[in-house]
Amino acid sequence: MTVLKQLRDRIKAVRSTQKVTKAMQLIASSRFRKLGSIMLEAENYLQIITEMLAGGLSCDDYSSLGAREQLMLGIAKQDSQVDNKTAIILLIVLSSEQGLCGSFNSNILKELRHDIHNIQLQGDDFRLIIFGKRAYDNLLPDFGSKIISYNSLHHVEISTVVNFQQEIRKFTVDNANIIMCKVYYNKFINTVNQKLDILTLFPIKDLNLKKAKFSYELEGRNIISQIIDWYLIAKLFHIITLHKASEERARIVAMEAATTNADDVIAKLTIQLNRSRQAAVTKELIEVISSAEAIT
């Protein structure tokens, strides 16, 4: 009877876990559907801002741009190259706040650590800006002194991205030897495919000045500077929406697999329980028959 009780308890525990994984799958599905419209809006917004920036730059000879604007556009030598200072590469890492999403975070962190190793071998320096608790907990013990900002990724809001962009602006102003900013994230392609992507946020490389749709009569460099800020906000917001969609999709797949595996475990345990019960009944019958024969 002890064996039967243990099997019943295990089946009960697996069913309880299955209810949790099923609930998490439904929650992730709901979040994923909501992100669909946000992704589309973010993509359209980024396209408009990109065209605005390309139009502004096509009307300018770059002579009026300041050092920060030249850094963003990659059209001037960096102070680190002139003054022989150690170059700084800014690394932005996106992860998740929660687990239960397969290898979603581990792939990003593995690639990031590989690139950090190469940066150190080249004699350059780096700084980290982290989105998501999983990456923060993983990187804090080894690179705590390099982390300049940690941001939660519970919700996708444009206001959060605006505040974050201001942090980047301040960092680039305060550090003249920064040469590049790279973003590590999981890019959502479709419901079947998501892939790790490493994107260079600046210097900005995805502008096509020949196809610019906007034309300006510029008055001072502040206009270009403002559009660059808008571009960075739009780009980051688009990246974050793609990353969050990829996260929720990965969680849907992981929880669906866990729910299916729970069905398999329950089926195997049920067979084992039935066999054990049958063996116990057979044993009792044999004992009864043996006792009856002994009496007669």
Residues 282 and 164 in one domain: no
**129 occurs within a structural domain:** yes
What is the tally of structural domains in the chain?
A: 2
**296 occurs within a structural domain:** no
Cα 246 to Cα 261: distance, rounded to the nearest angstrom: 23
Per-residue pLDDT band at 160 (split at 50, 70, 90): confident
Cα 224 to Cα 62: distance, rounded to the nearest angstrom: 10
Q: Going by DSSP bridges, is the β-strand pair 125-131/147-151 parallel, antiparallel, or unpaired?
A: parallel
The segment with the largest mean pLDDT, out of 1-10, 57-66, 201-210, is 1-10
Cα 235 to Cα 137: distance, rounded to the nearest angstrom: 26
What six digits make up the tokens of 65?
């741009």
How large a percentage of the chain has pLDDT more than 70? 86
Q: What is the pTM for the complete model shown?
A: 0.81
pLDDT for 261: 92
pLDDT for 184: 95
Residues 43 and 75 in one domain: yes
Structural domain harbouring 34: 26-254
**197 occurs within a structural domain:** yes
In CATH, what number is assigned to the domain containing residue 273? 1.10.287
Arithmetic mean of pLDDT, 109-131: 92
**295 occurs within a structural domain:** no
Cα 32 to Cα 192: distance, rounded to the nearest angstrom: 13
User: Do you know the residue count of the chain?
Assistant: 296
Residues 13 and 130 in one domain: no
- The contacts of residue 191 (CB under 8 Å, 6+ apart) are 249
Residues 205 and 100 in one domain: yes
Residues 196 and 137 in one domain: yes
Query: Residue 277: is it exposed, middle or buried by C-beta count within 10 angstroms (0-12/13-18/19+)?
Result: middle
pLDDT, tens digit (0-9, with 9 covering 90-100), for 62-119: 666 777 777 777 775 544 444 567 888 999 999 988 877 778 888 999 999 999 999 9
49 or 211, higher pLDDT? 49
Residues 152 and 282 in one domain: no
Residues 104 and 213 in one domain: yes
